[in-house]
Amino acid sequence: MASGTTTWRAATEAALYGPSGFYLRPEGPAGHFRTSVHASPLFAGAVAELLRRVDEALGHPAELAFTDVGAGRGELLTAVLARTAPELGARLRPYAVERAERPSGLDERVTWLGELPEGVDGLLFANEWLDNVPVDVAETDAEGIARQVLVQQDGEELLGEPVTGAEADWLARWWPLDGAPPGSRAEIGLPRDAAWARAVGSLRSG
């Protein structure tokens, strides 16, 4: 790979989470766009009901985790806490898992983590998280071969080596490019699969 050229995944990682990365800026995602979390209090109401049902299904454990992965600035956790009955609230362990710093003024009941908690019982939740886990991108060349898309320092893109190994296997299974016209693209979702598996693995039950 030529110097100053990088993979799509590394370029996205730098743009979103590097120095002055988009998601690490003080204003947070909500300073730029709305998600369901911000659009209506009905969303937090529905999640609070889901939490109540998970608690019931788990037999009202002494500690019930509510893990929000990619928690933004803790907006959903804050809104769900406000809608949780006192009895459940006393047993609730709210975790924000975020790459950004803990915002000032957040409810002190919320534990702010850079990594998932281990072996908890409860509700694992994520809203608009996985699409923010950087991945590589493949594009078919003039012969229909899927190649890595590379990014130069000035943002120009070029095609690199053919996609091989586990990444090729992933494409063949989930986003096949065989027979696709030249210039067709696919995201290679392996890092998202791994992130999801890690998240699910954080639960002992739930």
Ligand X SMILES: C[S@@+](CC[C@H](N)C(=O)[O-])C[C@H]1O[C@@H](n2cnc3c(N)ncnc32)[C@H](O)[C@@H]1O
What would the two tokens of residue 10 be? Answer: 């590394």
Residue 129 interacts with ligand X (CB under 6 A): yes or no: yes
Beta carbon nearer to ligand X, 7 or 140: 7
CB of 88 to ligand X, least distance (A): 22
Beta carbon nearer to ligand X, 69 or 171: 69
What is the C-alpha to C-alpha distance for residues 53 and 133, in angstroms, rounded to an integer? 29
| Span interacting with ligand X, options 79-87, 95-103, 140-148, 152-160, rule CB under 6 A | 95-103
Residue 125 interacts with ligand X (CB under 6 A): yes or no: no
At a CB cut-off of 8 Å and minimum separation 6, what does 41 contact?
79
What is the C-alpha to C-alpha distance for residues 134 and 158, in angstroms, rounded to an integer? 18
At a CB cut-off of 8 Å and minimum separation 6, what does 108 contact?
none
CB 139 within 8 A of CB 82: no
Residue 74 interacts with ligand X (CB under 6 A): yes or no: no
User: C-alpha angle 76/107/48, rounded to 5°?
Assistant: 35
Which of 101, 128, 141, 161 touches ligand X (CB under 6 A)? 128
Which of 64, 97, 137, 163 touches ligand X (CB under 6 A)? 97
Residue 133 interacts with ligand X (CB under 6 A): yes or no: yes
Interface contacts to ligand X, rule CB under 6 A:
23, 29, 35, 37, 69-72, 97-100, 127-129, 132-133, 195
